[in-house]
Structure formats: structure tokens, C-alpha cells
Structure 1
């Protein structure tokens, strides 16, 4: 077999004994579960319309919530200046107690983001100083840290998109960028943990490769996640509370007055329709992936089947319950698990390459 040019350096049995891939694996899996937690809390934040409750981004002092009545009144007064309050929650009779409820979820979401940043950055520095990171992984870990910082910036851009003028909600485009960056980061953390876990077991093992079958499967799943993010951003889950029909028909009526591309990216009925039926294309792709990995790792195959099966059931239940808070939250939680299971399966395919 030909040796590729400039192969990536890997750890071997003769290299420094300071390398601790197993410790890095445990740390990365903890990070992965923290990302799942922030995705779930982010879903609750969206479902409770809490995302605009904090109108400023204070990276350090913002970690402390209001502690006095005067501070609560000041935060509430700032919220009362934006379009969401002026046109939606204010006319509905929002009280300070109501505001404290939505403030809590946005504050918790931002707090978990800060915790993830610290739990990633500080151990990374410690591992680096101790020389515990195997060759070929330092740049990747720094890139993951930078991706986390970018995710925070995207979150603020999303919030800011809902604070200006008469706007009453965040941009669903920024919401999708924010969510998909989180899920991509989750997949990348899982992939890196799997690479390092293999290195811990097999000195000299090379990272799995992404390509071939992995690319089309990842694209199919990406489209489904994107549509799901747009459904959330446009509140398109409320477009129908029946399944499989919408408006008593298979294909619902949707607004084409501004052209197909506008409808494809803005019309809640069309986006809801596409999300519920593209899901079956994603299922077909994931079945192919599960069958591909089953001979090598049966647990990964089971995890993929369990994740997409649960996700389909929860998606239908979300529709039937009129977007019940906890059913929809479970749907987003299992969506994160599906990303992890898919990354696991694609990693196994990458090992075979």
C-alpha cells in the first residue's frame, strides 16, 4: 500500500510516556455531555420564548443574575424597550414574575456556555503544559476551543437580530447557525474522543478519515438538522397539529407570492412539511450507515437505530401535542444523541478507510 505524502504524526510505543490519550478521552466525553446539556437548555429557551430576556452580553459580570429588586427592575425595564415586549409579551400582560421565569432560562443557557468554555480551556492548558497531548492533536483541540468561542459569538448575533427596531423575534437564520455550530462541535468532540480512545488502545493508530460514504450521509443529516432549526426559528411546529396530513392534505398550501426560494426559506408550512418528510430520507441514509458498521461494532448500529427511531416517534408526538414543551425538548435532546450516534458510525466507517 502506498504511503501518503506528509503523513500526520502519531503517537507510538516509543514516544514520551507523558502522553495521556485516555485522560483526554474522559475529558472530551465530559465536554460532549455538557454540549448536549446546553443544546437541551437552548431548546427550552427557544420554546419558552426566553432568548431575548437578557438584552446585553456581559461575558464576566453577566454570570451573576440580578440580586436585588432594583436590579430586577432595571433588567425588566431594558426588556420592555424591545419589540417582543412591545408587541407580544407586554400586551399579553407580562409581570415581573413572568419575566423572571424567561430570564432564568436564558441566564442558565449562557451560564452553561461559560462553564463549557472554562472546562475546555483550563484542562487543555494543563494537558498542554504537562505534555500529555499526543502529536497531531494540539491543533485540533485548539480548533475545537475556537469553535466554541465562535459559537458564543453566533449566539450573541442571534440575540442581537431580535433586539432592533420593531422585530419581535430572532432571525431563524442566525438561530440555525447557532444550533448547527453547536451540533457540529458536538460531532467533532465525539470524533476526536474516538480517535484518542483508539490511540490509547492501539499505540500508533491513525485518526479515522472522513470521506466516501460519510459525506453523503452527513449531508442528508445536515439538511434535516437545518430544517429542524428553521422550524424552531419560525415557530413552524405550530403550522400543523396533525400527522401525516397537514391542513387535511398531504402537501399543505404555502405562500409562493414572493417566489419559491423565499417560500423554501421563510414559509412555515413548507418548511414544516419538508422537515417531516425529509426525515424519512435521513432514516434511509442512517439505516445504510447502521448496516455498514454492524459487522465491526454492533453497539454503534444499535445506537443509530435507537436514536433515529426515538426521534421519529418524538417528532410525531411533538406535532400531535401542539409542540408540548417537554415533548419538544425531548425531541431536541434525542436529536443531539442522534448526532453523537451518527458521528460514532461515521468514525467506524472512517477507520475502515
Structure 2
């Protein structure tokens, strides 16, 4: 029978033959298993903080304050008044300063500089934590069978993310650009959530013995696995649309709800030429897409929750209860964000809500594939 298409969080570097080998993951010892999971938990926390700091960097318009990409020497901030003057002079050459922030003082520049420097520095810390951890377990031969490729994959995605980050920033340094290109911001944020998702998935896999996972998979709910996979992809699309909103400050364009400027559609949603630009650069249309996708996502989440409520397994029902509750809360926060003209303190809560919802959806999907066994009496 032909293999089904893989979704973005299918096991990487694993074959069915390997899965059918009981206890393979435990050959490195229980200590390595627990230690690797702890190491991944550290990465999990760091990437979550990275997403939040990245969001704050965007909300404070700090992302273009450092105009060069120096992966190694850039780890050191300006150490003298002359060095600060040099960095400020470089910033004064880009459109964001000449057309938007002209007259900015050195103290104001330092504020946005530290945000961007902190964001980049945190990326370096994450890369260092990954490299040290992987080298430690590899040298000690404590990486379980089948997991070397997975752990290397996380590192490769992290390196790619750094390159995409600069690709994004470079777009905002071009003539006529006051911010980074919104589609590049969406790719940057989207990849961050992909990395975060893989780490979360691997932590969940390591939380139970391989033999237990094999046993649990036999009683997995194929229908809920399929529907939760669809929910995961739909939520990911909504995250990308949210990034487009943030990229052009579209959240501040129409602060009324449920209408937009008194109507269902925003006025003149296709005023830019060529037409495709409107889907990335027209604030009204971008916010409209984010709103409509949010409504549809919530409706689909209710449908998935209704199906999950019929499951005989408590872990499946409870995991989807959490998803629906967080989905509703996230929708409310999104509405409040728009109605209050997207202030940074509410907008960042909305982004944190997306992080929490993403993890809960992945957890519900995991429980659909690997439900926690329970006695018949408990299920009843």
C-alpha cells in the first residue's frame, strides 16, 4: 500500500521497520533518554522566549536598528561612545530613519538597538545550547537509535532560521522600505513555530517508552488524528496571516468590530496594483483575511471538539477540551487587540496565546495517535 503524504510533524528519519523494533529508543539507557528530554525542554523554553522577544522587537519597531549581519563579531554590542556613534550613523542611512524616525536621539536609538541585539543574542544562545547538548550526547554515545537524524534536523532548522532572519531584515534596508517585507516576516515566524513544534513533538515522544508508544498506537484514533492534523495546518496558516498583519501594522487599521469601517469588507481592498500586492500590503484586506480565517478556524475547532467528545479515551477528550478553551480565549484576545488599536502589551499577549494554542493542538494530535491506555471502567 502506498505511503500517505507526510505532514510537517511526522517523524523525521524514521521508517516503519525501525518503528516495529521494540525498545530501540531505550538502548542508550534511561539516563540518556531523560537527559535528552531535559535538554529539549531547555530548547523548548528558549525558543518560546525567542518568539516572544521577536514579537516585541517587531512591535517596538526595533528590527532594523542593526544594519549588518555579523554572526560571530555581532555578539558584542558597542563598547564605547565612538562605537555607538558609528552604529547610529549606519542606522541614519536607512529609510526607516530618514523617512520615519528622523531626529531620533541617541538614547532612543539605544532602546531599539538593545531589543534587536537581545533578539539576535538569544538566537546565538539557542544555537550554542543545541550544539553543546548534541555534541555531549553524541560523544558519549547516548543518543538513542533513530534519534540522531531528528536532533540534527532541529539544528539544521535553527541555522536556516538565522539566515532567513537576515534575509528578512535586509528587505527593510532597501530604498522605500520602512519595515521588513511582511511575507519574509511571515516565513521567519512560521519557521520559528515549525522548530518549536518539532521540539514539542520530540519531548512528547520521549515522555513515554518506545514500547508504550507502540502499544498505544494500536489503539489510536485514526479519525481524530486526521482531523487534528487538519486543525494543526489550519492554525499554522492563521499564524502566518497574523505575521502579515504584524508586518504592516494592519491590526491598527480598523479598530471596530465586528464590522470594518462600518461594513463587512474593508473599503477599497484591492486598491494596489498589481492585484497580488493587496494580499500582502493592503492593511484592510490583510486584517480581513486574518479575521475570516480566525472565524473559520474556530468553527472547525468546534467540529473537531464535537468528534473528540465521542471518544472513549479520557486523554483524547481532555486534550481537545483544552484546545477549544484556548481557541475561544485566543479569539477574544484577538478581538480586544483590534478594538484597542493593537497596543504592544495586548498584542504580545495575543502572540503568547498563539504559542500556547499551538502546543495544545500538537498535544491533542499526539494523544490521538498515542492515547494514554486506561481500563474499561475508567473509559466508561
What TM-score do the two structures reach when normalised by structure 1? Answer: 0.90
Within the candidate set 207, 214, 220, 1:197 is matched to 207
- For 1:149-160, what aligned pairs fall within 5 Å after superposition? 149-160=159-170
* Residue 358 of structure 2 is aligned to residue 339 of structure 1: yes
Pair 1:129 & 2:148 matched = no
1:234 aligns with 2:248: yes
SS of residue paired to 1:198: coil
CA distance in 2, matches of 1:228, 1:203: 35
Is the CA contact (8 Å cut-off) linking 1:157 and 1:174 kept in structure 2? yes
Q: Residue by residue, what CA displacement relative to the aligned partner does 1:221-261 show, whole Å, maximum 9, x if unpaired?
A: 12211110100111111111111111011221134243653
Output the CA distance in 2 between the equivalents of 1:15 and 1:166: 56
Distance (Å, rounded) in 1 between the aligned partners of 2:303 and 2:21: 31
Structure 2 counterpart of 1:43: 55
For residue 125 of structure 2, the aligned residue among 115, 124, 130 is 115
Does the 8 Å CA contact 2:25/2:146 hold for their aligned counterparts? no
The aligned residue for residue 324 of structure 1 is: 343
Distance 2:107 2:211 in 1: 54
2:132 and 2:226 map into 1 onto residues whose CA distance is: 36
Contact map agreement 1:227 1:275 (CA 8 A) in 2: yes
**Structure 2 runs not aligned, ≥5 long:** 1-14, 372-380
Out of 193, 196, 211, the residue aligned to residue 183 of structure 1 is 193
1:277-296, Cα deviation, whole Å (9 max, x unpaired): 21122123333444555634
The answer to whether the 8 A contact 2:213-2:370 is kept is: no
C-alpha spacing 1:323/1:13, structure 2 compared with 1 (3 Å): closer
Q: Does 1:308 align with 2:323?
A: no
Q: Secondary structure at the match of 2:226?
A: coil
Q: Which whole-Å CA distance do the structure 1 matches of 2:299 and 2:163 have between them?
A: 35
Residues of 2 paired with 1:47 and 1:15: CA distance?
45
Which is worse superposed, 341-350 or 325-334? 341-350
Aligned equivalent of 2:29, options 14, 18, 23? 18
Does residue 369 of structure 2 align to residue 350 of structure 1?
Answer: yes
Shift of 1:148: 0.7
1:60 maps to 2:79: no
Computed over aligned residues only, the root mean square deviation of the Cα atoms, in angstroms, reads: 2.5
Deviation at 1:350, TM superposition (A): 2.6
Q: Pick from 267, 275, 279 the counterpart of residue 290 of structure 2.
A: 275
Is 2:301 aligned against 1:286? yes
Q: How many residues in Structure 1 have an aligned counterpart in Structure 2?
A: 347
How far apart, in 2, do the equivalents of 1:14 and 1:35 lie? 25
Cα distance in 1 between the residues matched to 2:36 and 2:210: 10
Measured in 2, the distance between the counterparts of 1:290 and 1:215 equals 13
Equivalent residues of 2:27, 2:145 under 8 A apart: no
User: Cα–Cα, structure 1 residues 289 and 202, in superposed 2: closer, same or farther, change >3 Å?
Assistant: same
Q: Secondary structure at the match of 1:305?
A: helix
Contact kept, 8 Å, 1:237 with 1:319, in 2: the verdict is yes
TM-score (norm 2): 0.84
- How far apart in 2 are the matches of 1:315 and 1:280? 11
